[in-house]
């Protein structure tokens, strides 16, 4: 099954430019760690990107929580992404009609389409959300969409029917959908990158509904890449924590593919 296939083999089997790039990067850097850099100061975010850049395959931000978001910040982050070779992932969770998301993606305050290699998408509006994002596109290599199939928070709504429709949307848009945000093994198709948030080495959760699982568990279940936020950003030494998550996640992947 897809679970036993290596990232390099799966890079060969996808026509999606962003998925291909990420599979190759994970293989070459020996990192299937995506950091969720949920910090609010531009300086802190750039310092983190520089410190842990060598350990990650993608750097995930929420542009709308950053104080003083600017073009200068974007160009510095882009520079770091080239130095350390990681993708820039904007977790915008686009979730509106096509005409609205086209504007949210292509213009406005954040100009996301100009700098994000990957973006998250809620499937609830149906395929129109993907068509709208394509209209807002500025890059020419597809939107690098990660469809949210299942969420990590307590009481999250998706049911079996919604997940099936989400998978169908991904299969219908192979040039624009690069993977899933998921919590379980929802699809057999090897071409998509599975990314799982809600990962922490202490499985305690937070006070706002986040639920945590160990990196080894999510990789055995379904994840190609783990998304880790506070496990790294709130660690005593974030760069050491990043190295530890990188090693644990990549070893779990090697174990899964050798079975």
Binding residues for substrate: 38, 60, 152, 210, 229-230
E strands present in 38-86: 58-61
197 binds ligand 6AU (CB under 6 A): yes
Q: What angle do CA 10, 140, 125 make, to 5 degrees?
A: 80
Residue 76 is among the residues annotated as catalytic for this protein:
no
Known binding-site positions? 38, 60, 152, 210, 229-230
Minimum distance, C-beta of residue 204 to ligand 6AU, in the bound complex (Å): 11
How is residue 12 written in tokens?
A: 């060969």
Distance CA 227, CA 37 (A): 10
Least CB distance to ligand 6AU at residue 259 (A): 27
Q: Which is nearer to ligand 6AU, 127 or 205 (CB)?
A: 205
* Closer residue to ligand 6AU, CB minimum distance, 68 or 209: 209
Cα–Cα distance between 63 and 104 in angstroms, integer?
12
Among the listed residues 20, 29, 91, 117, the single catalytic one is 91
How do 145-148 and 225-228 pair as beta strands?
unpaired
Interactions with ligand 6AU, residue window 115-174 (CB under 6 A): 120, 148, 151-152
Of 6, 24, 162, 210, the residue at the interface with ligand 6AU (CB under 6 A) is: 210
Question: Are 38 and 233 within 8 A, CB to CB?
Answer: yes
Tokens, residue 83: 């130095």
Count the site residues for ligand 6AU by CB under 6 A. Answer: 16
216: number of Cβ within 10 Å: 18
Using CB under 6 A as the binding rule, the residues of this chain from 218 to 257 that contact ligand 6AU are 227-231
The least CB distance from residue 124 to ligand 6AU, in Å, is 14
Residue of this chain nearest to ligand 6AU (CB atom): 229
**Across-strand partners of 146?**
120, 179
Q: Collect all residues with Cβ–Cβ distance below 8 Å to 203 and sequence separation of at least 6.
A: 212, 213, 214
Return the number of the residue (120 or 246) whose C-beta is nearest ligand 6AU: 120
* Residue whose CB is less far from ligand 6AU, 141 or 230: 230
**Rounded Cα–Cα distance for residues 196 and 253 (Å):** 13
Q: DSSP per residue over 154-198, as a string?
A: TT----HHHHHHHHHHHHH-TTTEEEEE-SS-----TTSEEEE--
Rg, C-alpha atoms of the chain:
17
In the complex, the smallest distance separating the C-beta of residue 231 from ligand 6AU, rounded to whole angstroms, is 6
Binding mask 79-108 for ligand 6AU (x = CB under 6 A): ------------x-----------------
Name the catalytic one among 30, 78, 96, 135.
96
If DSSP codes are grouped into helix, strand and coil, which group holds residue 118?
A: strand
Provide, rounded to whole angstroms, the least separation between the CB of residue 39 and ligand 6AU.
11
Helices 98-106 and 128-136: angle between axes, nearest 10 degrees: 30
Q: Is residue 93 flagged as an active site residue?
A: yes
Interface residues toward ligand 6AU, by CB under 6 A = 36, 38, 91, 120, 148, 151-152, 181, 197-198, 210, 227-231
Tell me which residues are annotated as active site: 91, 93, 96
């Amino acid at each position: 099954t897809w679970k036993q296939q290596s990232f390099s083999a799966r890079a060969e089997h996808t026509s999606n430019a962003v998925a291909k790039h990420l599979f190759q990067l994970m293989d070459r850097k020996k990192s299937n760690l995506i950091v969720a850099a949920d910090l609010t100061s531009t300086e802190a975010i750039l310092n983190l990107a520089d410190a842990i850049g060598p350990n990650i395959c993608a750097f995930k931000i929420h542009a709308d929580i950053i104080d003083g978001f600017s073009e200068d910040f974007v160009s510095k982050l882009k520079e770091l992404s080239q130095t350390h070779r990681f993708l820039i992932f904007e977790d915008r969770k686009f979730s509106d009609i096509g005409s609205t998301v086209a504007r949210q993606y292509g213009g406005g305050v954040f100009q996301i389409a100009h700098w994000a290699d990957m973006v998250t998408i809620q499937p609830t509006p149906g395929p129109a959300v993907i068509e709208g994002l394509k209209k807002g596109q500025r890059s020419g290599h597809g939107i690098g969409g990660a469809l949210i199939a299942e969420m990590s928070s307590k009481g999250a709504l998706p049911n079996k029917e919604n997940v099936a429709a989400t998978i169908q949307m991904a299969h219908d848009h192979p040039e624009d959908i690069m993977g899933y945000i998921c919590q379980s093994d929802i699809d057999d198709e090897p071409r998509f990158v599975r990314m799982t948030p809600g990962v922490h080495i202490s499985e305690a959760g937070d006070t706002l509904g986040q639920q945590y699982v160990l990196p080894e568990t999510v990789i055995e279940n379904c994840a190609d890449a783990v998304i880790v936020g506070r496990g790294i950003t709130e660690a005593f030494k974030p760069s050491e924590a990043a190295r530890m998550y990188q090693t644990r996640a990549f070893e779990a992947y090697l174990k899964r593919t050798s079975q």
